Amino acid sequence: MGKGGEEFIMKSPDFCYYEALSIEDAIKFKSNDLESVILAGGQSLVPALNMRLSSPSCLIDISKIKELKNITKDNDFIYIGSAVTHSEVMQNKIIIDHLPVLIDVLDMVAHPAIRNKGTHGGSIAYGDPAAELPAFAVAANAEIILMGLNGIRTIQASDFYHGLFETDIQNDEILTSIKYPILKDNQKILFDEIYRRHGDYAMAGVVANIEILNNEINNLKLVFFATGTKPEVALKTSELIIKDGYDYSNVKNMIKTELDFESDLNSNAEMKLHLATILTNKILKLMET
């Protein structure tokens, strides 16, 4: 263990720190220094730095920018600012009233001490394949709002994730907010995951966006996470379930054909395929209650 102070053993690499005063200020800095990265809450970035998995030239701290710390709502959408912490989202009246499922999801995101600092935009932008929020954003048909040198750009969450920790954010861009459609009366989002310890990354997880018509599933969008390199929509599996309902072998075969499974430290690809299948059944049972 390091003594602290002057002695650094297995500590983060050397970088510089810049506290951005405004969104424009952060964009300017980022586009001038292509090796710099954005620091919001740092709850994924700082561990990566401590383990030397990342060595940026500079950290641009956006956590003090007021415009990024709001949660607002209009008739059709809820907007969560990228620097709002998970704890703040969980206690927000708009979220409690209009998107309460997000609170259940966030309850699975790490532990209270990490949620007090980790941010909504940070988790979405980091794109950890085992994280809950990227999958939630994809399932909820959220749009990601980015700001860059050329102004504002909006992209569907499902198009935002390219691969392992790879997103559509360009060098001069900053994620400013996430726009969630308000759920219709006959629509709900359900969520479940299997983990080894409460708050740890999931071994496999699923978020389902379900529309009910005359007591039947009219529309279903299953999104799996902690299964591959990014959150993935299982379109054919969703269609199969609407048509034939749940059958372990059929669902497992369909998930296997349409998703790419990757082993990680928690479980291997075969295990993840099994868990994804079981979770699909758990979600359908949840729907009935």
Partner 1 sequence: MQGSKNITINFIINDEIFNNITVPVRQHLGDFLRSIGLTGTHIGCEQGACGACTVELDGKAVRSCLILSSQINGSVIKTVEGLDDTLMKKVKEIFLKHNALQCGFCSSGMLITTKEILNKKKKLNREQIRTEISGNYCRCTGYQSIVDAIEEAIEDNIKDI
Residues that bind partner 1 (CB under 8 A): 1-5, 8, 10-19, 25, 28-29, 32-33, 36, 39, 42-43, 46-47, 49-51, 58-61, 63, 87, 110-114, 116-117, 197-199
- Residue found by looking up tokens 């710390």 in the block: 69
Q: How far apart are CB 62 and partner 1 at their closest, in Å?
A: 12
The least CB distance from residue 9 to partner 1, in Å, is: 11
Q: Toward partner 1, which CB reaches closer, 5 or 75? A: 5
Q: CB of residue 140 vs partner 1: minimum separation in angstroms?
A: 25
Tokens 């951005």 identify what position?
20
Min separation Cβ 188 and partner 1, Å: 24
When the beta carbons of 211 and 264 are compared against partner 1, the nearer one is 264
Contact 234, 223 (CB under 8 A): yes
How many Å apart are CA 196 and CA 80, to the nearest integer? Answer: 30
Q: In whole angstroms, what is the distance from residue 169 CA to residue 128 CA?
A: 14
Neighbours of 49 (CB within 10 A): 20
Angle, vertex CA 61, rays to CA 59 and CA 65, nearest 5: 160
In whole angstroms, how close is the CB of 125 to partner 1 at the nearest point?
17
Minimum Å gap between C-beta 76 and partner 1 is 33
- The nearer residue to partner 1, 42 or 228, going by C-beta atoms, is 42
Nearer to partner 1, 12 or 209 (CB): 12
Query: Closest CB to partner 1 among 63 and 177?
Result: 63
The residue (of 61 and 247) whose beta carbon lies closer to partner 1 is 61
Strands 204-213, 166-167: pairing is unpaired
Helices marked H in 119-265 = 120-126, 132-139, 157-160, 235-244, 248-258
Which residue blocks in the chain are alpha helix, DSSP H?
A: 23-32, 45-50, 86-91, 93-98, 101-106, 112-115, 120-126, 132-139, 157-160, 235-244, 248-258, 269-288
**Six-digit token pair at 244?**
């034939």
Q: Residue 77: CA atoms inside 13 Å, Cβ hemisphere, count?
A: 12
Q: At what angle do helices 248-258 and 269-288 cross, to 10 degrees?
A: 120
Least spacing, CB of residue 160 vs partner 1, in Å: 25
Which C-beta is closer to partner 1: that of 56 or that of 231? 56
